[in-house]
Amino acid sequence: MVEPAGTTGAFVAAVRALGAVFRAMKARGVPPEVARRFVIGRAVTRFAEATGTSIRLAPALAGEPVALTPAEATLVEHADREDWSRIDPPILGTLLEATLGDAERRGHGAHYTPDAAVLEHVVRPTLVEPWSARLRAASTLAELSVLRDALAALRVLDPACGSGNFLHVAHRELVRLDRALIEKARDRFPAEARRTLGEAMSVGARRLFGIDHDPLAVELARITLRLSEARALDEARALGLDAAPRGDLDENLRCDDALFCAWPAADVIVGNPPFLSKNKLQRARGPDYVKRVRARYPDVPGRADYSVYWFRRAHDELAPGGRAGLVGTNTIRQNESREGGLGHVVARGGTITEAVSTMVWPGEAVVHVSVVNWIKGEAAGPKKLSWQQGSTREGPWEHAMLDRIPASLSAGVDVTTARALRANSASGACSQGQTHGHEAFLLSADEARAMLRASRRNAEVVFPYLVGEELLGAPRGVPARWVIDFHPRGELEARRYRMPFQRVEGAVLETRKEAAARERAEESNRHHEGFLRRWWQLDYPRHALMARLAGLTRYVACSRITKRPIFAFVSAAIHPGDALSVFPLQDDYSFGVLQSDLHWRWITARASTMKGDVRYTSRTVFDSFPWPQAPGADQIGAVAKAAVALRALRRELATPRGLGLRALYAAMEQPGPHPLAAAHAALDAAVRAAYGVSRRDDPLAFLLELNRACAAREAEGLSITGPGLPSGFPAGRSPGGLVSEDAVQPPVLRLTG
């Protein structure tokens, strides 16, 4: 490498640092040309400052400098001449995320946390406010001296440190606390008395520790901490304080897997663990890694989010009185993830002091997150719970001050203790729709028409296929596709339907062979092996569900992922896709209960979420939802009548305007009166009467108490009233009298002309 004439030693330092970054990228498997383009094209000036003359290079960064082209050398030379006093350390996190690309970032679950979010939602409640309170309480010089010693000894750990932004913000705020302490002493005590306190900067980056599995992230974190400390030293000297670097930082940050390595002792743990669901974790890290994690943490449910392990481990690592603040996907407050993480924290002496139930991620990732701050022990006073409305970063915020924040991060009644009811789970009254597993099973209208023209017998295996998007978005909810469903036929019988079978055989068979072979090679779950054994059938034909639908004229369905309570009747001639939750109930009373406000409240309190929408499943929602236990005949009739009227009004409003149900309900949410509001109010009143819910009752508290009462009866071997019409419905009111005829109808395929 030829150094341009007239440059200083900082030029050489910058080039060496660039070489270290290239080597770290290489260790991560980033191709050299990609690393070269990134560092030179986006970051060369920033890295030049981060390793300039004011910051000593760590041994890990020493080595042969990377060769630069003349144009690249000119960029570094120009960077060396810039004023770097205003460089902001968090920029390195932005650069790190930019190196990953969308696919790799999603695969690793790595997301940079903006500086303001780190401070407001984690460092402030977990570090700044507790220590500020201690500072306010200290009034004597001896108390200030003890507090300063404790502050200087405080150890902070980020076990998923990335580029070190959480550590940078924590260090910055510790320095500010130390200065505030000195200023308080200066204001109250003469210089002679303050001598024992000392005025040298006592808070150093040597008390900050980090772990990350990404070698590039660790190198950037080292640079971030050096830069953060250099800035703190400069600012301290400007205030007349003694300030000098406090030891080497190289051992403070470790490239390792935090779920398996030892953690440094820490008083405060902060961070943003990876955003990865169970399925994404296996794809990103492989089945062997997933097995290792589960073996290491056998008490965490297998469906838990990856970030849950950090919450659990952080609590276990803390000493009594230690604090933690972590960011996770908002699934950490739901179901198995809640059980494995926050449930563990609360059950083992943790007190959640401040939390965000859900907020739109302020970074680049389009995701909703939860933020939890807790202490290992008791905490006096009210606890703050916040949540953001809507699905945009500008959505309004709401706050509640509570005596206790539960693991569900809910400000209302905590229904996480509700139990599954055997009457519900055994009823078969809720199921996910069919999962096709391969696009070749699905047909356009023209493809379906061609098959039916080829042979009318093909109508025995070709059916309209409805998904959630069409149920909510299409006018009248009409499906746009058809599905080839050979169930329950064996292969030989399926071959009788020549054209559908040839399509599936030609497209599906080889794909399933390849998937099963990959599965065997990876020694992972063998579900593809099962799909191969019955390759001509859908992945999940839902045998029991389809058998129940065969005896009905219609069924109730809702989109499994939705932000609004929208249920509809669908003709049993239409096969439901797996984006639907299906209720094989055809009476209007059952529809009314499912469409009611009481059911929706239970859904939103119990369901998991997908971004800002709720996800309806039988296990989390339906199985625990208690139905009215002793409704009278008039009450059942009133619910059915209100349900019929509601659906009639929906058709009256939507059909002439060509609206789907989603658009109709979105309009209902706008300011001003809407005809549907009154119809829903009438239905809700009828359902509450069937339950016996008074105006004074909290709906969720009522349902939770009813769930407990039903579970207790079942535990004693007694029966309860499960989903659908009560079995002892009085004579004179036959169930058939409560089954109207409206439903989403299958599209008509014209086979002639």
Average pLDDT over residues 409-430: 91
Give the whole-angstrom CA distance, residue 515 versus residue 517: 5
- pLDDT at site 705: 95
Nearest-angstrom CA–CA distance, 175 and 235:
10
Confidence of residue 631 (pLDDT cuts 50, 70, 90): very high
557 and 543, same domain (yes or no): yes
- Over range 416-440, report the average pLDDT: 94
Q: Of 206, 239, 261, which closes a domain?
A: 261
43 near 163, Cβ under 8 Å?
no
Is residue 448 one of the residues assigned to a domain?
A: yes
Contact present, 428 and 555 (Cβ < 8 Å): no
pLDDT of residue 711: 95
Better-predicted residue by pLDDT, 590 or 25: 590
Indicate whether 489 and 555 sit together in one domain: yes
Q: Which two tokens stand for residue 557?
A: 């369905």
Q: How confident is the model at residue 8 (pLDDT cuts 50, 70, 90)?
A: very low
Mean pLDDT of 207-226: 84
- pLDDT over threshold 80, residue 174: yes
What is the DSSP secondary structure assignment for residue 704, as one 8-state letter? H
Q: Is the pLDDT of residue 110 over 50?
A: no
Comparing 34-48, 200-214, 223-237, 340-354, which segment has the lowest mean pLDDT?
34-48
Can you give the pLDDT at residue 691?
97
Q: What percent of the chain has pLDDT over 90?
A: 54
Whose tokens are 């009166």? That residue is: 673
- pLDDT of res. 33: 46
Q: Which domain does 520 fall in, by range?
A: 428-589
Residue 749 forms part of a structural domain: no
Q: 127 and 203 share a domain? A: yes
4 in a structural domain: no
β-partners of residue 329 are: 369
Whether 419 is covered by a domain: the verdict is no
Our count of domains for the chain comes to 5
Name the burial class of residue 134, with classes exposed (0-12), middle (13-18) and buried (19+) by CB atoms within 10 angstroms of its CB: middle
pLDDT band at 230 (very low <50, low <70, confident <90, very high): confident
Mean per-residue pLDDT of the chain: 83
Ramachandran category for residue 523: left, alpha or beta (phi over 0 → left; psi -120 to 50 → alpha)? left
Enter the tokens of residue 389.
Answer: 């409305």
Whether 385 and 278 share a structural domain: yes
Strand order of the β-sheet with 431-432 is 431-432, 580-583, 554-559, 568-571
Q: Would you say residue 571 lies in a domain?
A: yes
Rounded Cα distance, 234 and 165, in Å = 20
Does 751 map to a domain? no
**Domain end: 566, 589, 612, which one?**
589
- 435 shares a domain with 541: yes
pLDDT at 114 over 90: no
Average pLDDT over residues 499-525: 86
CB 51 within 8 A of CB 223: yes
Encode 503-571 in three state secondary structure: HHHHHCHHHHHHHHHHHHHHCCCCHHHHHHHCCCCCCECCHHHHHHHCCCCEEEEEECEECCCCCEEEE
Amino acid 635 reads Q
Contact 93, 165 (CB under 8 A): yes
Percent of the chain with pLDDT over 70: 79
Among residues 92, 93, 45, the alpha carbon closest in space to that of 72 is found at: 45
The candidate with the shortest Cα–Cα distance to 369, out of 282, 449, 273, 465, is 273
Question: Helix 588-595 vs helix 597-606: angle between axes, to the nearest 10 degrees?
Answer: 50
Q: 709 and 617, same structural domain?
A: yes
Tens digit of each residue's pLDDT (9 = 90 or more) over 713-731: 999 999 999 999 998 775 4
> Do both 176 and 102 map to the same domain?
yes
234-238, 261-265, 384-388, range with the lowest pLDDT: 234-238
Rounded to an integer, what distance in angstroms lies between the CA atom of residue 461 and that of residue 675?
42
pLDDT of residue 343: 92
pLDDT in tens, 300-336: 988 888 999 999 999 999 999 999 999 998 888 888 8
What's the rounded Cα separation, in Å, for the pair 124 and 730? 62
Q: Are residues 156 and 285 in the same domain?
A: no
- Helices marked H in 129-214: 129-137, 141-153, 165-188
Centre a 10 Å sphere on the Cβ of residue 401 and count the other Cβ atoms it contains.
10
User: Rg for the chain (alpha carbons), in Å?
Assistant: 31
612 three-state secondary structure: coil
Residue 747 lies in a domain: no
Q: Give the DSSP letter of residue 629.
A: S
Q: What is the mean pLDDT of residues 75-97?
A: 52
Do 542 and 582 have their domain in common?
yes
At residue 516 the predicted structure's pLDDT band, cuts being 50, 70 and 90, is confident
Please give the pLDDT value at position 160.
93
Distance CA 543, CA 520 (A): 27
Which whole number is the average pLDDT over 94-123?
59
Do residues 363 and 332 share a domain?
yes
- Return the SS3 of 609: strand
Report the number of secondary-structure helices (H) and strands (E) in the chain: 29, 20
Question: Element (H or E) spanning 211, and its range?
Answer: strand 208-212
Domain boundary among 41, 63, 80: 80
pLDDT average, residue stretch 255-283 = 88
Angle between helices 588-595 and 675-691 (to 10 degrees): 100
Distance (Å, whole) CA 270 – CA 161: 9
Q: How many CB atoms sit inside 10 A of residue 42's CB?
A: 14
Structure tokens, 359: 């907020």
Question: Which pLDDT score, from 0 to 100, does residue 19 have?
Answer: 53
Q: Is the pLDDT of residue 7 over 50?
A: no
Average pLDDT over residues 347-364: 88
> Does 377 share its domain with 471?
no
Shared domain check, 706 and 656: yes
The structure's pTM equals: 0.72
Residue 568 lies in a domain: yes
Written as six digits, the tokens of 431 are 């199921």
Q: How confident is the model at residue 70 (pLDDT cuts 50, 70, 90)?
A: low
For residues 266-291, b (16+ Cβ closer than 10 Å) or e, as one string? bbbbbbbbbbbbbebbbebbeeeebe
What number is the average pLDDT over the span 139-154? 91
